[in-house]
Amino acid sequence: MISAGEASGDLHAANLFAELKGLDLELECYGMGGSLLAAEGMELLLDCRELSVVGLVEVLLQYRKIMRHLHSLETVLEERRPDLLITVDYPGFNLKLAKFARDRGIKVIHYISPQVWAWRAGRVKQIAAAVDHIAVLFPFEEAIYQQAGVPVTFVGHPLVDQVKTELTTQQAKQKFQLDNRLKTVGLMPGSRNSEIERLLPVLLESAQTLQNRLGKLNFILPLANSINRPQLENKIEQSGLNIQVVQNQTHNAITACDAVITASGTATLEIALLGVPMVIVYKVNALSFAIARRLMKIPYIGLANIVAGQRVVREFLQHDAKADLIADEIEKLLSDEAYHAQVCQHLSKIKAKMGRGGGSLNMAKLVQQTLIHDKP
């Protein structure tokens, strides 16, 4: 059984499931996920897109729905008793489900560590009580769990393999019929509908500000599969901007860009691995932000900066997520060649810090070993 939350969890779980099928295991697989897991052939019992929210207050507002889904999956665990439960990311939900399974003698592997190195370090104890094994994406995470006595395997980050394009920037612009003479700015408002509501207006206002200052620009928006496209296109139409929306070609679209304005999240690593300068925007409910700020142990919120261990790209958080400030930084990236080159040089070091490739296959082999070891 797999329980994957949100678009990134669905992606990682789908890649894992694809690798598992290639290992000639006779698998029956069911659980919670999204369209990608369903496309790989998993029996989809619950659609994770229904639970896609960000921020502590936002989670509380959806609490009853979240708990209904949790109890549904707990019932499935009791009735169908899988040989293994794989929980993927989404820790607030999945660690509860993992504890329920482990208490009933069902083996659990949690895939993708919560950011215990950034905030809420006490969750390591919660994880130790809930899972039999944890598979982590970053090499520095392994020592954290080893010190806490939690069985851990560093499998590597799947993005190292997944983020690639054979196109140059100019070729990518031609592919999307963008004017090669103009600078191209990418807009990536996130993979949750709640992020579209909160961040897309900021990104659109920033794009308008840039166009007013610099004249005509290309704008491209790679759309996450989890997003309601009519909702997004209606907002774009109201802005009056000419923005090309593309689906299922995120990496080619990023490659076409000279700079990107992106929501915080996994997307910042994708952009960094492709070597494109960016600014990171983060905005949630005011109370959620105030609480998170008190709990944070590190100075950055963007994964690209966290992995780099320094501020490589600017972050505009909460009250600083303003169009004029964002436009100032993008304008500098577009017009100051030395500054653009300096940021690109720092981005090039992030891939080396993310470790070896083969993350999905390494995870699949860990699952295979667990299943074979547990056979009677």
Answer CATH for 2-158+357-373 from 3.40.50.2000, 3.20.80.10, 3.40.50.1360, 3.30.360.10: 3.40.50.2000
| C-alpha–C-alpha distance, residues 348 and 44, integer Å | 38
Predicted structure pTM score: 0.75
- C-alpha angle 339/345/350, rounded to 5°? 130
The per-residue pLDDT string of the chain (376 residues; one tens digit each, 9 = 90 and over) reads 999 988 888 989 999 999 999 997 889 999 999 999 999 999 999 998 767 655 555 566 677 888 899 999 999 999 999 999 999 998 989 999 999 999 999 999 999 998 776 566 678 989 999 999 999 998 888 988 999 999 999 999 888 988 988 999 999 999 999 999 999 999 999 888 788 888 999 999 999 999 999 999 999 999 987 787 888 889 999 999 999 999 989 999 999 999 999 998 889 999 999 999 999 998 876 666 666 666 666 678 788 998 888 899 999 988 899 999 999 999 999 999 999 999 999 999 888 788 778 999 999 999 999 998 765 4
Domain regions of the chain by residue span: 2-158+357-373, 169-353
CA 71-73-78 angle, to 5 degrees, is 95
Decide if 4 contacts 31 (C-beta within 8 A).
Answer: yes
Would you state the pLDDT for residue 295?
Answer: 60
Q: What single-letter DSSP state applies at residue 317?
A: E
- pLDDT at position 6 is 81
Q: What is the pLDDT of residue 54?
A: 52
The CATH topology of domain 169-353 is Rossmann fold (3.40.50)
SS3 215: coil
Q: Decide whether 2-158+357-373 matches 169-353 in CATH topology.
A: yes
Tell me the C-alpha distance between 317 and 60, whole Å: 22
Give the model's pLDDT for residue 294.
63
- Report phi then psi at 246, rounded to 5: -125, 150
pLDDT value at residue 376? 43
